[in-house]
Amino acid sequence: MKTARQIVLETIEAYPSNKERALEGGSCKYLTRDGKMCAVGRCLLHPTQIMGGSASCFFPNTTIEPIEKESVELYLKPEYRGHPIGLWADLQIFHDYNGNFTEDGLTVNGKMMVKALLEKYN
């Protein structure tokens, strides 16, 4: 099983700029038609099987009810299991927030979020 820190580092490396993000039609998708995956999508066994592939289904404060933590584990690849849902929410927020990215890299806000994630999941 990967540690939370390993997952955070992997996620940061996967999204060095806006170009790598999994956005389609203005919203995040677990898996886009061109094969990009979001922060959670890349860790799922079958990204397209969850509620049409919209990444908002894991998290509260969206129009879709969040999946219970116990069932999240069933959707994740085995090496990503065993972590609190807050980790996945934090990673998805990092991926989804447009203010974190430019076409060429991370914004000041994005760099601050990376630092906060690394401190939180040290």
Give the pLDDT confidence of 24-67 residue by residue, as tens digits: 887 888 888 888 998 988 998 887 765 444 444 454 443 334 45
- Structural domain including 75 reads 4-120
Q: What is the pLDDT of residue 3?
A: 97
Identify the sign of the CA torsion 5, 6, 7, 12.
positive
Report the domain count for the chain.
1
What Cα–Cα distance (Å) separates residue 11 from each residue in 17, 25, 41, 42, 61? 12, 22, 11, 9, 23
Least confident of 1-5, 8-12, 43-47: 43-47
